[in-house]
Amino acid sequence: MSQTVSLSRAAPAIAVVGAGIVGATTAYMLARRGAHVTLIDRTEPGRGCSYGNAGALAPASIVPLAMPGILRRVPGMLLDPAGPLRLPLGYVPRAIPWLARFVAASRRDRVEAIAARLAALNAEAIERHTVLAREIGAPELVRTHGHLHVYRDAGALAKDAPAWALRERYGVRCERVERADIESLEPRLGACYRTGVFLPDQAMVVNPFRYVQQIVRAFVVGGGRLVRDEVRAIEPDLARGWSVHTSEGRQTADHLILAAGAQTPLLVGPLGVRLPIESQRGYHVTFPDDAAPVSRIVVLADRKVFVTPLERGFRVAGTVEFGGLLRPPDPRRFALLGRLAREAFPGIATGEERHWMGHRPSTPDSLPLVGPVASRAGLWLATGHGHLGLTGAVSTAHALADAILEGSPALAPAIA
Ligand SMILES: Cc1cc2nc3c(=O)[nH]c(=O)nc-3n(C[C@H](O)[C@H](O)[C@H](O)COP(=O)(O)OP(=O)(O)OC[C@H]3O[C@@H](n4cnc5c(N)ncnc54)[C@H](O)[C@@H]3O)c2cc1C
């Protein structure tokens, strides 16, 4: 690994809470550019939401979850436990404020503005991940074989036409494919998928957990400090920036970056800062011992499910469920993902299944909260990346490093 870590005395001390993909990448980037960085997590790095994602590096994903017409989908969300979007009745009262903002974000003019922002944020994501993977000594983790989105028929594809048109307007290369093309790209995909769109410029990470671990290892080798501890409180420090209280004691830093994923609101709540973040619970079933039936990410677009070939085995991941941080996973959703895999790839023999649920830290408008907290000098947010945290982590890291280390004015407050 070629790293230039300058330890000049003028370098700021920075604490980063959360060693998911966002916090790990941010800590690595800051340390690489000369800051004294302490990365704190209560668990092993990468064990949060970043553990089990679908591995897609998808700068083409500029379409927010809240699209015009989202209100019409609410009855289905409430009633269909197997639907791609699920809102259990009992969670409705808790979710109403967030959902109201979610619906407001689905207005046509808002969607255009959000798409433009996401396109700009993630424009360089693949190049930046490729460079990062090389720097940390794991170039094999990033693969650039494109993504294939498949539909059962032209009618199903037509329903997504506004989303595809939006992507094309922002220059995403989208190639319409029919059954013969699908067969040549992914021969094992069942005949029920007859049409689709191939995105040749998208990429993937074949082991999202190892990626985070390797980034943290490079961070430590380069002089960063990793602390495994629970952050219980944060507060402004009269002598120096911010204090971070952990079960082991107190640490201070000139700058404090909160990258605690869906748990970030719990850290700033006591300061009177309210973050519009809700967990969009996503599920995966991983088949670690089975040969992947695909050679690239295949999106079963009718179910919004990703099938990902991994370093070992393959993964079926997706679905969105509201329900907060405390409810246990719904086992029916694991069964659903397993069934979808068997339907999509007839005849696949699968062995052991590993089940996992993670909390996507999600904002109503699908835009991450990255930047300073207004009127709290030295406090920064790096959260709210929702469905795109793996994709967006490197851009977030660059933006924060530019702002903190070089005073780049481009970064507006993440929250008032
Ligand atoms: C099923 C599924 C599929 C997905 N697929 C993709 C995909 O293909 N591509 C993509 O770009 N994104 C995808 N995502 C989204 C992506 O995984 C997330 O956006 C991303 O992992 C969020 O990373 P994070 O670092 O913000 O949060 P996390 O990974 O959750 O990390 C937060 C960390 O903070 C720590 N923490 C929290 N509170 C404290 C505390 N008080 N003290 C100490 N530590 C604390 C936690 O232990 C955790 O390690 C997917 C998500 C899911 C669920």
pTM of the model: 0.96
Q: Which atom of ligand 1 is nearest to the CA of 267?
A: 41
Q: 177 with 193: CB under 8 angstroms?
A: no
Q: Which atom of ligand 1 is nearest to the CA of 56?
A: 8
Which parts of the chain sit beneath pLDDT 70?
1-9
Q: Tell me the pLDDT tens digit for each residue of 355-410.
A: 999 999 999 999 999 999 998 999 999 999 999 999 999 999 999 999 999 988 77
User: What phi, psi does 208 have (nearest 5°)?
Assistant: -60, -35
List of residues 6+ apart from 326 with CB closer than 8 A: none
Q: Hey, which residues does 250 pair with through a beta bridge?
A: 245
- Measured in Å, residue 26 CA sits from the centre of ligand 1 at 13
Mutate to test the pocket of ligand 1, among 212, 246, 263, 296 (most ligand atoms within 8 A of CB): 263
Q: 134 with 214: CB under 8 angstroms?
A: no
Q: Tell me the pLDDT tens digit for each residue of 55-98.
A: 999 999 999 999 998 888 777 777 787 788 888 889 999 999 99
For ligand 1, atom 26, name the residue with the nearest CA: 261
Indicate whether residue 388 lines ligand 1 (CB < 6 A): yes
In Å, what is the CA distance from 103 to each residue of 61, 284, 392?
Answer: 19, 27, 24
Indicate whether residue 333 lines ligand 1 (CB < 6 A): no
- Measured in Å, residue 359 CA sits from the centre of ligand 1 at 7
pLDDT of 1 reads 37
Indicate whether residue 394 lines ligand 1 (CB < 6 A): no
Q: Which atom of ligand 1 is nearest to the CA of 297?
A: 8
- Measured in Å, residue 52 CA sits from the centre of ligand 1 at 9
Indicate whether residue 48 lines ligand 1 (CB < 6 A): yes
CA 383/CA 392 separation, integer angstroms:
10
Indicate whether residue 387 lines ligand 1 (CB < 6 A): yes
Segment (H or E) for 340: helix 331-344
Q: What is the DSSP code string of 274-287?
A: PP--EEEEEEEEEE
Q: Which one, of 375, 359, 356, lies nearest residue 414 by Cα?
A: 375
- Measured in Å, residue 323 CA sits from the centre of ligand 1 at 16
CA 265/CA 98 separation, integer angstroms:
13
For ligand 1, atom 33, name the residue with the nearest CA: 18
Beta strand segments in 323-378, E: 354-362, 369-372
pLDDT of 4 reads 35
Indicate whether residue 391 lines ligand 1 (CB < 6 A): yes
CA 414/CA 374 separation, integer angstroms:
8
- Measured in Å, residue 139 CA sits from the centre of ligand 1 at 22
Q: Which one, of 302, 304, 279, 272, lies nearest residue 364 by Cα?
A: 279
- Measured in Å, residue 182 CA sits from the centre of ligand 1 at 32
Indicate whether residue 186 lines ligand 1 (CB < 6 A): no
Q: 73 with 85: CB under 8 angstroms?
A: yes
Look up residue 364 and give its DSSP letter: T
Segment (H or E) for 215: helix 208-221
pLDDT of 172 reads 97
Q: Which one, of 121, 50, 4, 111, lies nearest residue 411 by Cα?
A: 121
Which tokens in the block code for residue 258? 């909160």
Q: Hey, which residues does 57 pair with through a beta bridge?
A: 203
For ligand 1, atom 25, name the residue with the nearest CA: 20
Instruction: Give, rounded to a whole angstrom, the gap between the first and last alpha carbons of the chain.
Output: 39
Q: 342 with 239: CB under 8 angstroms?
A: no
